[in-house]
Amino acid sequence: MAHQTRVTFARPWWSGIFLPLAFLLSFAIAAGVGLYSLASLRAVLVQERGADLARTAARAADTLDRVLFERFGDIQIFANDRILFEGNADEKTQRLLQYKKLYWYYSWIGVTDATGRIVAATNLFAGPDTGGTREGGLGLNRRDWFEIVRQTGQVHLSEAQLSPESEGIMAVGLSAPIYGPQGDFRGVVTSRVPIEKLRTILEQEGKLQHGEEAQNWLVLDRQGAVIIEKNQVKGMDSSLSEMELLDARRAAEDRDKSSFVEELSQRRQIPVVTGYARTRGYRNFSGFNWTVLVRLDRERAYAPINQLIWTVGGVGLLLVTPLAGFGMWASWNLVREQRDLVRAQQSLEESIAELARSNADLQQFAYVASHDLQEPLRMVASYTQLLARRYKGKLDSDADEFIEYAVGGAIRMQRLINDLLTYSRVTAQDKVFERVDCNGFLEEALSNLRIAVEENGAVVTHDPLPTVMADGGQLVQLFQNLIGNAIKFRGKDPPQVYVSAERRTGEWLFSVRDNGIGVDPQYAERIFVIFQRLHNREEYPGTGIGLALCKKIVERHGGRIWVASQTGQGATFHFTLPIVGQSRHDS
């Protein structure tokens, strides 16, 4: 009798102190590294959030440049219009009105003569520098923009300011010289674009990533004064605007790149994050050198980041704390865990023994199913068939029908028991895989199906098949079930079945293709489940185990099986077998 010795551990006296301290120190280090990682992550996310604001500002600035560049092109087109330097006042006025209607950005367009006198305009006005009236509006003195255009001969851009031509609203001006056919100076065409016309552009381009609305956006001129903002305050003068935007202006001094800055909103007295970018012009259009600011309250801007950081930190704390506590607890219970390990090993051995007994009982059940259960079933089938032969036509029609039902049920039960027995023995067999030639086993399967092939006029062809490591008997079952299904589920034409094999990386891919009724793709997985049928027994007899048996055989060999099909277009069943211990020349 074997003697068993219980293993015990002599735990050092210092282990009860050192190990908890080591776990505590490890926890502190992990917590420190975690906090540092969270801080680094937050810095990265904050940078990305600010970069999003900066990108939004740059996008809005680029769109402003493009729209104003188009107006820059418009004024040059106006200057080359023959009517504006050869027509009379009425013709010029009508043409200007047409331009204003066609280009909706403009609030006012006017034409001067060579002396600076406005001779035609979309609407007359009383200028503050003339003291004139609407009737005397054509007698305005020259403006600065007129002198500049006349002297330079180039398009002049007037900064945003209150425009008397546009009824006192904030507008920018574009002016271009008009020359006659001989190059003689004939006057200036000038236009006004209200800043409010740009609000729609800024509202559209001022949206952040994923369509989030900015808290506020602003546009500053080259001196830093606000010319338009999203949350416009009625009656706010320019000095208040400059005071509030002092920090943003300081940040925007580096005008060669877009960026962001954290600052304090002086008007609202709360921290904000501001992305900024400047307009840079477009092609030969120098632009107005404006600065675009896009703002979010810092609390709102960083709320998703802080929520993420708290979530990650909380989850990390929930994960690390129990682990640290478990480590400290485990350091004081090593001996008990050793005893638990021994008991677990004993329990495992008992479970293995119980599993062996269970397998033996399963084998016994298979024997009973194949012998003891089938014997009385054969007797039932035999006697019901005897009754059918002896008393058919002697009893009433109901009796004949009942006997037929009994005979059919007994036969189906015999088939079901045989198929279940075959299915249960797939993985219970102890036969070792060996190198087998698939061609021979395919021929054996076709020999078993000879009657079905002849009765249905089926044609089965195949390519040369490889040599694989497999259970030959189960390969016969596999080919026989797949080809038998192809014949059973035939279409109107005689069945045509083609078997092929293709070598792939680490496996052989077998295919069994037919021209039958096909399978609806939604049932492509269901047909491999045991007892699952897509047709009634009267139309297509069977137990619903065949394809489940194929799947179990393929999986026992380490492969997989599936079907590719469309209803009414035939089906191709694919299965794989691994390449084990074969050279590339084996086939």
Confidence grade of residue 135 (pLDDT, cut at 50, 70, 90): very low
Question: pLDDT exceeding 70 applies to what percent of the chain?
Answer: 67
The pLDDT value recorded for residue 146 is: 92
How high does pLDDT run on average in the chain?
76
Residue 240 is predicted with a pLDDT of 39
Together in a domain, 203 and 286: yes
507 beta partners: 504, 578
In whole angstroms, what is the distance from residue 279 CA to residue 46 CA?
A: 25
Question: Is the C-alpha dihedral spanning 359, 552, 426, 539 positive or negative?
Answer: positive
> What pLDDT, on a 0 to 100 scale, did the predictor assign at position 234?
53
Residue 453 maps to which CATH number?
3.30.565.10
Residues 413 and 472 reside in one and the same domain? no
Whether 317 is covered by a domain: the verdict is no
Read off the pLDDT of residues 436-451 as tens digits, 9 standing for 90 and up.
Answer: 889 988 998 888 888 8
Residues 252 and 382 reside in one and the same domain: no
Q: Give 84-134 pLDDT, tens digit per residue.
A: 888 898 999 999 999 999 988 899 999 999 998 999 999 866 444 433 333
> In this structure, is residue 390 part of a structural domain?
yes
Boundary-marking domain end, from 402, 423, 444? 423
Condensed to tens digits (0 to 9), the pLDDT of residues 69-89 reads: 999 999 999 999 999 888 898
Do 449 and 382 lie in a common domain? no
Q: Which of 277, 302, 327 is the last residue of a domain?
A: 302
* Confidence at residue 567, expressed as pLDDT on a 0 to 100 scale: 80
DSSP lists the bridge partners of residue 173 as 158, 192
Residue 541 has pLDDT above 70, yes or no: no
**277 and 395 housed in the same domain:** no
The whole-angstrom separation of Cα 471 and Cα 462 is 20
In a domain, 481, yes or no: yes
Query: How does residue 434 score in pLDDT terms, banded at 50, 70 and 90?
Result: confident
What pLDDT does residue 213 have?
A: 73
pLDDT at 428: 54
For residue 395, is it within any domain?
Answer: yes
The pLDDT of residue 18 is 62
Which one of 302, 335, 355 terminates a domain?
A: 302
Domain membership flag for residue 407: yes
Confidence of residue 265 (pLDDT cuts 50, 70, 90): low
How far apart are alpha carbons 42 and 47 in whole angstroms? 8
**Measured between alpha carbons, how far is 261 from 273 in angstroms, rounded to an integer?**
6
Q: Is residue 214 helix, strand or coil?
A: coil
Q: Which residue, 277, 265, 297, is CA-closest to 220? A: 277
Range of the domain at 534: 430-578
Q: What is the pLDDT of residues 348-397, one digit of tens each?
A: 888 888 877 776 666 566 556 655 666 676 677 777 777 777 777 666 76
Structural contact between residues 89 and 120, judged by C-beta atoms closer than 8 angstroms: yes
Checking if the pLDDT of 254 tops 70, the result is: no
- Reduce the DSSP state of residue 291 to 3 states and report it: strand
Q: Which of 27-41, 98-112, 335-349, 392-406 has the highest mean pLDDT?
A: 98-112
pLDDT of residue 525: 80
User: Are both 538 and 483 inside the same structural domain?
Assistant: yes
Handedness of CA 415, 421, 424, 428 (dihedral sign): negative
Q: What is the mean pLDDT of residues 519-526?
A: 79
Looking at the structure, do residues 567 and 468 belong to the same domain, yes or no? yes
pLDDT category at 190 given cuts 50, 70, 90 is very high
**Which among 177-181, 389-393, 490-494, 530-534 has the top mean pLDDT?**
177-181
Residue 5: predicted pLDDT:
42
Mean predicted confidence (pLDDT) in 219-234: 79
Is pLDDT larger for residue 272 or for residue 227? 227
Q: Does residue 410 share a domain with residue 457?
A: no
Residue with more model confidence, 580 or 90: 90
Residue 585 has pLDDT above 50, yes or no: no
Query: Which residue type occupies 298?
Result: R
Evaluate if residue 429 carries a pLDDT over 60: no
Q: Report CA 313 to chain centroid distance, whole Å.
A: 27
Report the DSSP beta bridge partners of residue 111: 120, 189
pLDDT at position 119, please? 92
- What pLDDT does residue 19 have? 57
Question: Is the pLDDT reported for residue 316 higher than 80?
Answer: no
Whether residue 434 is found in the same domain as residue 568: yes
Residues 574 and 553 grouped into a single domain: yes
Q: Are residues 502 and 527 in the same domain?
A: yes
Residue 243 in domain: yes
User: From CA 188, how far away is CA 323, in angstroms rounded?
Assistant: 81
Q: Could you give the number of structural domains in the chain? A: 3
pLDDT for 60 equals: 87
Q: Tell me what pLDDT residue 271 has.
A: 80
Q: Which residue has the higher pLDDT, 267 or 527?
A: 527
In percent, the amount of the chain with pLDDT more than 90 equals 15
Query: Does any domain span residue 54?
Result: no
pLDDT at 405: 65
98, part of any domain: no
Lowest-confidence segment of 195-209, 264-278, 364-378, 444-458 by average pLDDT:
364-378
Rounded to 10 degrees, the C-alpha dihedral 513/519/525/527 comes to -90
Are 508 and 468 in contact, with CB atoms under 8 Å apart? Answer: yes
Whole-number pLDDT of residue 487? 85
Residues 6+ apart with CB under 8 A from 128: 164
494-514 burial code (b ≥16 CB/10 A, e <16): ebbbbbebeeeeebbebbbbb
Q: Does the pLDDT at position 489 exceed 90?
A: no
Of 174, 169, 168, 166, give the one whose Cα is nearest residue 107: 166
What is the pTM assigned to this prediction? 0.47
State how far the Cα of 369 lies from the Cα of 551, in Å rounded to an integer.
23
252 and 363, same domain (yes or no): no
Which uninterrupted H or E stretch holds 461? strand 459-462
CATH number at residue 243: 3.30.450.20
pLDDT of residue 175: 93
Is there a contact between 275 and 55 (Cβ–Cβ < 8 Å)? yes
- The whole-angstrom separation of Cα 72 and Cα 158 is 12
